[in-house]
Amino acid sequence: MELNEYFQSYKDYFWEWMTDEDIRDDSGYHENNLISFPGIGAVAYRPYIIEMLKELQPQGFPPFGSLLLALYVTQDGYLDTEYLFSQIENHPYTDRKQIGDFIADAISFLEKLKALDRVYKKGQNRIILFQTIFKSIHNGVSSANAEQLLKSYYKRPHKIAVSAQKLDLSHNYFSRDIRTLAFINKSFPTTQSIIDAMKNIVDLSDLDDEVIEEETTVDTDKDFIQELIEEPKTFQVGSLIKRIWSGLKIPMRHLSPGEQPIGGISDMANKGELHRMLLSEFANEDEVFMSRIANNEALYIQREIPPEENIFERIILIDTSLKNWGTPKVLAFASAIAVIKHPKANSECKVFALGQTNILISLNRIEEIIDNQNQVSSALEVSASLEKFLGEKHQEKDLEVFFITHHENLQNENLQRVIHQNRDRLKFLITTSADGELNFYKHHQGTRKHIQKIVLPLKELWANPPKQKQKTGQVSGNGKQTDLPQNYPILFPTPSNKIARFLYEGEFFILSSKKQLLRTYLSDNYYNKDSYNYYKTYHGCEVLIENISIKPRGQFALAKNKQQQFMICQYQYDKKLISKLNLATKEYSELNVTGQNIPPSSKLIYFNKNFYLYQQGLLNIFKINIEGNISVESVKNDTEIEKSYQKVSTEIAKLNQGGIKILSNFNKIGINTKDRLVVSGSELIMHYENSLNFFKNRHEINIFAEQSKNKFTFPDGSEIITDSRGMLTFRSSNKSIHEFYIPSTEHGFLSLATHTDFGGSEYYLPENTLLKVKKMEDMYSGYLEAFINQILEYGA
């Protein structure tokens, strides 16, 4: 089965592909990112559907329509299943006997899913629910084909566009969706049977069924682990953690299955409280009644606690005896931090150092890790302190204990005895060795099971330790942030994250994720077609209004009122809410349009001094006024609106690739050994002719600037002022060097400008400007190089 075939949509069916322009997809393809049920509304975004399919891939995919119906009835909030089921029951194909016989069973199963308690339909439980119900279907996609479909999607997500083009609905497709649910219904006669089947998955003794093994993605931008690696005293520990993560099979979440089945004979117990005793027991004669109680033969009702996500507390015990010193201790601390700081961990965790006594330690800061690595006990083995800890009463309901020790210590008879006697409380055992081998064991049902072995290439991982850091510039937390202008002589880089884009009276506007209204433009400068490229088409932006009080959800439209003040209209379909905001006066009004029967695919647009909720083909659409308090009225559709909408959509689409990743998190600024400026790990360099770029710094910084809020000051008094919107301001202590500006973006050619001169990428050149354009070589030597030399000469 091909990718577009599996996701194919059909005319007059209960679901369709739609586009939410406010949502950016990590795949890079932002169209057709939402599944909607016509007449009902949004069901699920494409990224969530793909994640669910990833979880189902090992067992294969169900028919796509069956999956969507199950997704809808397990959603939170109000569900209009009455309308949905009537659509299915009244569909033309239901008249056919071979399908009509299955309709009732399919709807019955969907009703069972809807009736499930909310705890079974959220988070990880929802994944287990879908794995359970779609486990043994016969007309789905096989596991091997499912894997190929996912690979095809990740390579070419834009193929969904083919599926979004609706075809005529076939009898076979409709039949497949309905029959699948009908057959599943026979496997689960009651809602309780679904719950029982879910528990059987969770309760399997094999650890791999408990473990949630997901690809670990870590933000390496100055995160805690990276800081450990960069600190010489914690380098060895820090460099092991991500390697341990890559193979770690310790479960990060559990489902607490509660007690066993509820209802019927399986719900009877021969022990319990008096108020739970069956009434029939009291009908016995006194002698029989007392005899049954005395012999534990009386029957009681036993109620179950439903499965739920179990937030437990972890206790990690680290052996600090003499044998666990040196490399084994480094591995022990790395293993402990890997469990504590795992990206998927969501439980409380305490760490104890076991020696002659038990010492509670913290591993949340670099200083604490350095200090606690020096914990060493003169004891040869820690069986006494381990026994004392496990013998104490811990009131926590869900406690999971880890013990980390050297593998040779397990040969000690005393330690063997303590571990064996407390195997019901000691959940995980981790052993270390001097050659980098970690072994993980789990105690399960009284026996110790070897989970996995991780061999760490210590020589490779520890090959390039960092040099001892020199004292860097101090960061002052006091003082006031340096004031920033609203705009600069050059344009800001256009942010890649946008809430909305507009075309109004021939000009392009952007509502950024930082709640700013920006104005940008496109160039048609073809004077040199040989060098015509991205940066001669797209341009940066200027800030018009900041700190706009608006929620980044729904649809937006932009216009000006009679006073030439910008007005933003917002439509939130899920809340049935239309609002209007005057960006100059902050005047706000809103209107709830529940009951207006606005089609879910309506688009909020501007046309001829009014806002509209527009949909092609309708006789009547909704008009929203710009002036005064907000109001909505139904008006006749106009072909001119359609022409305007198509033209505006085509023009706005030209802004699709107009965003650049902006450097906004500034930490260290300095001059490296190559006499180049370094900003937050990137050095500013002229790598190509007439171009200025940021590249990853690979050289040591020998002169640091002292930070005070957003101002960095060098020893000579020269300053760099940072602006998180994407701009650096340079003020040299040498007054003959004029103040100049450089954009701060991670990729692409930059520019350098003063209030009179400009050099570099035309992307940052304003549309109407008096700046004199010069070669970048001249701007670089006259300003940036002179700025750096002034600092270096002061140090000399």
Give yes or no for residue 346 having a pLDDT over 70: no
Determine the angle formed by the axes of helices 64-73 and 81-89, rounding to 10 degrees.
Answer: 150
Q: How many Cα atoms sit within 13 Å of 220 on the Cβ side?
A: 9
Both 321 and 456 in one domain: the answer is yes
Both 740 and 711 in one domain: the answer is yes
* β-strand partners of 693: 685
Q: Any idea what the Cα angle at residue 35 is, between residues 33 and 41, rounded to 5°?
A: 120
Q: What is the mean pLDDT of residues 547-568?
A: 92
Of 180-189, 262-271, 394-403, 730-739, the range with the highest mean pLDDT is 730-739
Q: What is the mean pLDDT of residues 428-452?
A: 86
How many angstroms separate the CA atoms of 483 and 669, rounded? Answer: 19
Q: Which amino acid makes up residue 136?
A: S
The structure tokens listed for 439 are: 């072994």
How many angstroms separate the CA atoms of 489 and 771, rounded? Answer: 8
Give yes or no for residue 208 having a pLDDT over 80: no
Report the pLDDT value the prediction gives residue 381, as an integer from 0 to 100: 83
Q: Any idea what the Cα angle at residue 676 is, between residues 675 and 678, rounded to 5°?
A: 130
Both 428 and 513 in one domain: the answer is no
Q: What is the mean pLDDT of residues 45-60?
A: 86
Give yes or no for residue 185 having a pLDDT over 80: yes
With H, G, I as helix, E, B as strand and everything else as coil, classify residue 476: strand
Is 570 domain-assigned?
A: yes
Q: How confident is the model at residue 255 (pLDDT cuts 50, 70, 90)?
A: very low
Give yes or no for residue 650 having a pLDDT over 80: yes
With H, G, I as helix, E, B as strand and everything else as coil, classify residue 629: coil
Both 29 and 51 in one domain: the answer is yes
Both 268 and 356 in one domain: the answer is no
Report the pLDDT value the prediction gives residue 259, as an integer from 0 to 100: 44
DSSP string, 690-752: T--EEEE--S-EEEEPEEETTEEE-TTS-EEEEETTTEEEEE-SSTTS--EEEE-BSSS--EE
Tell me which residue range forms the domain holding 159: 3-202
β-strands 313-319, 348-354 pairing: parallel
Determine the longest span between alpha carbons in the chain, in angstroms.
110
Q: What percent of the chain stands above pLDDT 90? A: 23
**Phi/psi of residue 655, each to 5°?**
-90, 5
Both 543 and 591 in one domain: the answer is yes
Both 324 and 393 in one domain: the answer is yes
Report the pLDDT value the prediction gives residue 93, as an integer from 0 to 100: 65
Split into its structural domains, the chain has a count of: 5
Phi and psi based region of residue 681 (left: phi greater than 0; alpha: psi -120 to 50; beta: remaining): left
The structure tokens listed for 352 are: 């104890």
* β-strand partners of 569: 557, 580
Both 767 and 648 in one domain: the answer is no
Is 476 domain-assigned?
A: no
DSSP string, 288-343: HHHHHHHTT---EE-PPPPPEEE--EEEEEEE-SGGG-SHHHHHHHHHHHHHHT-T
Q: Among 602, 631, 655, give the residue marking a domain's end.
A: 655
Both 72 and 191 in one domain: the answer is yes
Is 473 domain-assigned?
A: no
Q: What is the pTM of this model?
A: 0.44
Distances in whole angstroms, Cα of residue 676 to Cα of each of 295, 318, 671, 700, 784: 88, 46, 5, 11, 9
Report the pLDDT value the prediction gives residue 783, as an integer from 0 to 100: 95
Both 367 and 230 in one domain: the answer is yes
In this predicted model, which residue has the larger pLDDT, 170 or 493? Answer: 493
Is 162 domain-assigned?
A: yes
Q: Which helix (H) or strand (E) holds 793?
A: helix 785-795
Give yes or no for residue 383 having a pLDDT over 90: no
Is 190 domain-assigned?
A: yes
**Contact assessment for residue 567 and residue 548, using Cβ atoms and an 8 Å cutoff:** no
First-residue to last-residue Cα distance in the chain: 70
Is 756 domain-assigned?
A: yes
Q: Among 434, 461, 488, give the residue marking a domain's end.
A: 461
Both 245 and 354 in one domain: the answer is yes
Q: Among 655, 684, 717, give the residue marking a domain's end.
A: 655
Report the pLDDT value the prediction gives residue 580, as an integer from 0 to 100: 93
Both 437 and 511 in one domain: the answer is no
The tens digit of pLDDT for each residue in 505-538 reads 989 999 998 899 999 988 765 444 444 344 457 8
Q: What is the mean pLDDT of residues 125-142?
A: 84
The tens digit of pLDDT for each residue in 594-647 reads 888 888 889 999 999 999 999 888 888 999 999 988 999 999 998 899 999 999
Q: Which amino acid makes up residue 756?
A: T
How many angstroms separate the CA atoms of 528 and 533, rounded? Answer: 10
Is 217 domain-assigned?
A: no
Q: What is the mean pLDDT of residues 718-741?
A: 94
Report the pLDDT value the prediction gives residue 217, as an integer from 0 to 100: 35
